[in-house]
Amino acid sequence: MKMERERKDKLYREFARIGKCLSSPKRLELLDLLAQGPKSVDQLAKLTGMSIANVSQHLQTLHESRLVRFNKKGNFVIYEIAELSVADFMVSLHRLSEKQLIEVQQLKAEVLQEKAGMEPIALEELRKRMDRGEVVLIDVRPEEEYAAGHIPGAISIPIEELERYLETLPLDKEIVAYCRGPYCFWSAQAVEILKSKGMKASHLVEGVHEWKRYAAHS
């Protein structure tokens, strides 16, 4: 019994290593960003508003818990998630947090309410309408994130380049925009731009990893 108790205590200490690692909001943000594709320390510093030193420190903690890995390309150190299960975990964390925490629900609702007329489209509906050729799906994340993985059939048009590409989009179809997932609001911004030009548009709340989960179980 004593040996069994010791093993169980050791097991939960190991679980706690991951929990402690994820206790930082900034480390959670870094994992979300890396789930979209590999990034350099410099890129992560710019995206999070942190110093390179702080980003490096957080990445070291994530690396010690084996949630991320890195390799060197010339003078750059490139980080990525250790495996896809880390991205799956982040999706589950988002869903649990939104279900259990009213504060998360309120923050999400506030942002979407600011974007007047935002009509989300569900994954199942998107797939049906794409199969029928009724919609054009655009990925408004940076090109390197699109290259790392995207929803099949999506066109890469980074949000900062959208207005330049408006003339290339069909007027007789609805444009559906998506970005990094439920807590990325570039897709809502894209819909605002498209609607201001008289185009029919909606946004997909989910991102690439939510799509993969859906596709795997449908």
User: Which pLDDT tens digit goes with each residue over 32-82?
Assistant: 999 999 999 999 999 999 999 999 999 999 999 999 999 988 888 999 999
Indicate the burial class of 212 (C-beta count within 10 angstroms; 0-12, 13-18, 19 or more). middle
179 catalytically annotated: yes
Give the tokens for residue 199.
Answer: 């185009």
Give the tokens for residue 103.
Answer: 């504060």
Separation of alpha carbons 136 and 173, rounded Å = 7
Give the tokens for residue 108.
Answer: 């999400």
User: Which pLDDT tens digit goes with each residue over 152-207?
Assistant: 999 999 999 999 999 999 988 999 999 998 888 899 899 999 999 999 999 998 99
Do 187 and 180 meet the contact criterion of CB atoms below 8 Å apart?
Answer: no
Long-range contacts of 49-58 (CB under 8 A, 24+ apart): 50/26, 54/26, 55/30, 58/24, 58/26, 58/27, 58/30
Q: State in Å, rounded, how far the first CA of the chain is from the last one.
A: 45
For the cut 80, the answer to whether the pLDDT of residue 126 exceeds it is: yes
Catalytic residue among 33, 44, 59, 179: 179
Do 134 and 164 meet the contact criterion of CB atoms below 8 Å apart?
Answer: no
In the chain the domains, ranked by start, together with CATH numbers, are 2-82 (1.10.10.10), 115-216 (3.40.250.10)
- What is the percent of the chain with per-residue pLDDT over 90, rounded to a whole number? 74
Q: Which residues touch 103 (CB under 8 Å, ≥6 apart)? A: none
